[in-house]
């Protein structure tokens, strides 16, 4: 849990901020989640070496080895500011929620998150839901038409139109 009274850090760009929050909520568009909700046939990563979940995306996927190396260097620099901490264990919790650790200061948490935000941004993965222009669902007697529109101010409007066949 974040420290009480602690202001959280968020990235400046909207896409990275949304992706970060979706990773925290385990509601991102990685293939493991898409497969679980029936939007993807397989939960395998594009590298075909593992399941495309949060841990795999942040810590193991070979497609992001170069980005991960930069992330590890950034986090290691922060960790080594205090020699009495011992060895660093790079984990999903440290990368996404460093405030949960008593071993790092607020400034260090922000620095760790900055590295994580850069990793998310530079991976160019679309971890947030894509805008749906329309979706049709049909049953035997009622046809539903969903129309989702998003504005620049991140508000969403969902229109549901029922029509008798």
pLDDT along the chain (165 residues), means of 10: 66 87 88 88 92 94 95 93 79 91 87 94 76 44 42 40 46
pLDDT given at position 115: 95
Same domain as 143, residue 115: no
Print the domain residue range for 154: 135-164
* CA dist., res. 146 & res. 135, Å (int): 5
Handedness of CA 100, 103, 105, 109 (dihedral sign): negative
In a domain, 116, yes or no: yes
pLDDT given at position 55: 95
Same domain as 148, residue 75: no
Same domain as 113, residue 32: yes
pLDDT given at position 4: 62
Same domain as 55, residue 75: yes
Same domain as 148, residue 71: no
The total domain count for the chain is: 2
Same domain as 107, residue 53: yes
In a domain, 90, yes or no: yes
Same domain as 149, residue 116: no
In a domain, 1, yes or no: no
Same domain as 68, residue 23: yes
Same domain as 41, residue 78: yes
β pairing state of 156-164 and 142-150: antiparallel
* CA dist., res. 34 & res. 76, Å (int): 32
In a domain, 7, yes or no: no
Same domain as 117, residue 143: no
pLDDT given at position 63: 94
C-beta separation of 156 from 150 below 8 A: yes
Same domain as 76, residue 151: no
Q: Which residues pair with 144 in a beta bridge?
A: 137, 162
In a domain, 100, yes or no: yes
Same domain as 88, residue 63: yes
């Amino acid at each position: 849990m974040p420290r009480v009274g602690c202001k959280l850090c968020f990235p400046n760009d909207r896409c990275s901020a949304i992706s970060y929050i979706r990773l925290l909520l385990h509601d991102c568009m990685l293939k493991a989640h898409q497969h679980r909700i029936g939007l993807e046939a397989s939960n395998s990563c594009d590298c075909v070496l593992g399941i495309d979940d949060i841990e795999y995306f942040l810590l193991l996927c070979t497609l992001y080895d170069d980005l991960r190396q930069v992330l590890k260097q950034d986090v290691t620099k922060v960790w080594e500011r205090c020699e009495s901490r011992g060895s660093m264990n790079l984990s999903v919790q440290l990368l996404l929620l460093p405030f949960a650790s008593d071993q790092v200061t607020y400034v260090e948490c922000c620095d760790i998150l900055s590295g994580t935000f850069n990793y998310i941004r530079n991976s160019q993965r679309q971890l947030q839901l894509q805008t749906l222009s329309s979706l049709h669902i049909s049953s035997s007697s009622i046809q539903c038409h969903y129309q989702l529109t998003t504005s620049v101010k991140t508000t969403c409007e969902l229109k549901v139109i029922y029509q008798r066949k």
